[in-house]
Structure formats: C-alpha cells, structure tokens
Amino acid sequence: MRRAISLGVSLLLLIGVGALAQDAPMDLDTALSFFQNDQIVVPYSEEGRAQLEELILSIKGALGAPEDLDEDSEEAVGALEIDISLKDAVNKLAQAYYTLANVFMTEPDNYAVYRYGKHWAFKSLRMNPEFNDNTGGRLDESVARETDIAGMYWLNANWLRSSQENKIAAVFAGVPKKSELLTNRVLELDPTYIVGGAYRSFGGYYEQLPSLMGRDIKKALFYLCHVVDEPAFCSECGAGAMVETAYDYFENRTFFAEYYLIPEKEWEDAARILQGVLDEEIGEMYPLMNDYAQTHAQELMDEVNENL
C-alpha cells in the first residue's frame, strides 16, 4: 500500500517546479524558515504542497541551478558549482524533494522526484572532497569518513524509494548494501535524527527485503523497538530505551504496525496502535508528518479491519 494521498498527476513532472511559482520566488532565508527542528513545516493540504514546491524553486534559484537543469541526471546535478557555504541548503533541497514525493504524490509519478532528491544529496556529500566515491574512491570509505548526517540520511531515503521503481535492478546495483552503509553511519553519529529516522529506515528495510536478499523480521522488530514502547513485543529483543519523543512522532507507530504487526498478522495489536494514532492530537512539533501519518494510519486500519 502506498503511503501517500492522491492529489492528481503532479504538475511538477509535467511542467517543472520552476513554472509553479505564480510570482517572484521567496528568498533563500524565507525558504529555509520552513525547516524547523529538522522538519518541514507546511500544512498537509494543497496549499502546503504549493508552499513546498515554491520553496524547492527558491532553494534551486539560490544554488544557481539553471531552469533547464536535468535533475534526473546525477551527472548534471553533480557538475554544478555551488559554494560550500550553501551545503546545508543542498541537503534541505534533498529533504524537500523526498517530502514532496512521499507525502504529496503517488506511484509512479513520484519516482523521478525521489531521484532528484537522491542526486542533490549526492551533490551535497560530494561537495566534501573526501567523499570521493565518484572520483576514484570507494563509497564505503567515503561514508565511514563522512559526518554530514543530513546528507547521508536524505540520500538513503530518496535512494531507497526511487529504487522501488525497479527492485531487481536496484538489487543488482547493490543498493541494499549501500543503504546499510549509510543507515549504520547515521546511527553511529546520531540515532535520534528525525526522531529515530534511521531506526525506522532499518525496520522497513529488513521487512521489505526479498527473502533471497536477507529479509529478517526479527531485525525489523529490533530496530522498530527503538521508536515504540511495546514491551509485549520488545522486551526480549534487546533494543533498549526508546528514542526520546518517539511516541510523539506518529510515523514511528505506523511503521511498527506496517512493517511488523501486519506482516506478522498481529491484527488486534495493529488495530490498537493505529487507533491510538488516529485518536491523538496532531500537536505542534510535527504538524505535517503527523497529519500525513494519521491519513496513512486510516489506510492501514482499513486493511486491518478486513482481517479482524
């Protein structure tokens, strides 16, 4: 089941982000003000989508990206000359593309947008001369040296999602192992980033891997137990203490339902957790993602109710 609402065919793919702004784009400082506590703060609505598309345009303009830039080309994005002082803005562009594709779009329209995010995240990481995987070095060695958590996190997030378009090709390209490198490095540096985002990534990753590639539901449980408080399932898995505020970030609980309870046919507990998400106030900390997570919780609840 796709975790997104259907808002129609994306104008982004038909006419490009640049044509979406009706007036002059906002300046970079205004665009970056929509990022608070590593979250994008726009409403979960058509208005929020328009704001997100406008800030994407504004960040691209500030980075000096030409209007006709082929963002579907890793080489074209990588060739841009961008001052190192704008590295954080490049990371936020990768995050914005992921959010646009994940929250406001549906398959197959969103695959290209995930690729845009992947290419910008690679651009950010390669702005560090020591991240030299594309100039004779090795990806594993580059990742081991890297300290840019945001760049690695949003590279991995976009890469995994774009790989869903052709899973077999992704496997042959070694994407699963590359994803493990990136996720493990983020966990080494800051396991609390995006409210336990790397734990969520590994939870979904190990559940969704093809069996021949190492699908491991016990590993999925171990990682997800870092972001939920469910002793009936987690007391024996050795996960330890839950990430602080993880309960307040609804996607942690929807991931637990989607990538552990539902595959294991734990229908009653899935219903309990999802109903808990639906009963919560969205709150002020994570307005976009919690609103979106509630919509997805209802979609999952519909599936669960069919099996109760």
Give the mean pLDDT of 260-286: 97
In whole angstroms, give the CA distance from residue 228 to residue 210: 25
2 CB-near residues (< 8 Å, 6+ apart): 106, 107
Return all residues near 301 (Cβ < 8 A) that are at least 6 apart: 271, 274, 275, 278
Quick one: pLDDT at residue 25?
65
Q: Which residues pair with residue 36 across a beta bridge?
A: 39
Per DSSP, the three-state class of 204 is helix
CA distances (Å), origin 214, targets 2, 104, 173, 209: 23, 31, 16, 6
Distance CA 174, CA 272 (A): 37
Query: How much is the average pLDDT of 112-128?
Result: 98
In this predicted structure, what is the pLDDT of residue 12?
Answer: 40
Structural contact between residues 259 and 207, judged by C-beta atoms closer than 8 angstroms: yes
pLDDT of residue 48 exceeding 80, the answer is yes
Cα–Cα dist 6/10, whole Å: 10
Arithmetic mean of pLDDT over the chain: 92
Instruction: Assign 210 a pLDDT band (cuts: 50, 70, 90).
Output: confident
Q: What is the pTM of this model?
A: 0.91
At 132-157, the pLDDT tens digits run 999 999 999 999 999 999 999 999 99
> Cα–Cα distance between 290 and 279 in angstroms, integer?
12
- Give the DSSP letter of residue 249: S
- Enumerate the β-bridge partners of residue 35: 40
**Cβ proximity of 256 and 304 under 8 Å:** no
- The pLDDT value recorded for residue 209 is 87
pLDDT band at 168 (very low <50, low <70, confident <90, very high): confident
Judge contact between 146 and 185, C-beta under 8 A: yes
Find out whether 205 and 194 touch, Cβ atoms under 8 Å: no
Q: Give the pLDDT of residue 212.
A: 78
Could you tell me what percent of the chain has a pLDDT over 70? 92
pLDDT of 5 over the 60 cut = no
pLDDT band at 17 (very low <50, low <70, confident <90, very high): very low
Q: How confident is the model at residue 24 (pLDDT cuts 50, 70, 90)?
A: low
Measured CA to CA, the distance from residue 106 to residue 10 in angstroms comes to: 9
Residues of the chain above pLDDT 90, percent: 87
Q: Is the pLDDT of residue 196 over 60?
A: yes
Closest by CA to 223, choosing from 247, 202, 209, is 202
Beta bridge pairs of residue 40:
35
Given the structure tokens 């869903």, which residue do they identify? 164
Whole-angstrom Cα distance, residue 301 to residue 286? 21
C-alpha 164 chain-centroid distance: 13
**Which of 18-22, 100-104, 111-115, 256-260 has the lowest average pLDDT?**
18-22
Residue the block writes with tokens 């900390």? 285
| pLDDT of 3 strictly over 50 | no
pLDDT for the residue 171:
87
Could you tell me the pLDDT band of residue 213, with boundaries at 50, 70 and 90?
confident
pLDDT mean over 218-228: 98
| pLDDT confidence band for 211 (50 / 70 / 90) | confident
- Determine phi and psi for 35, rounding to 5 degrees: -100, 115
Instruction: State residue 6's pLDDT score.
Output: 33
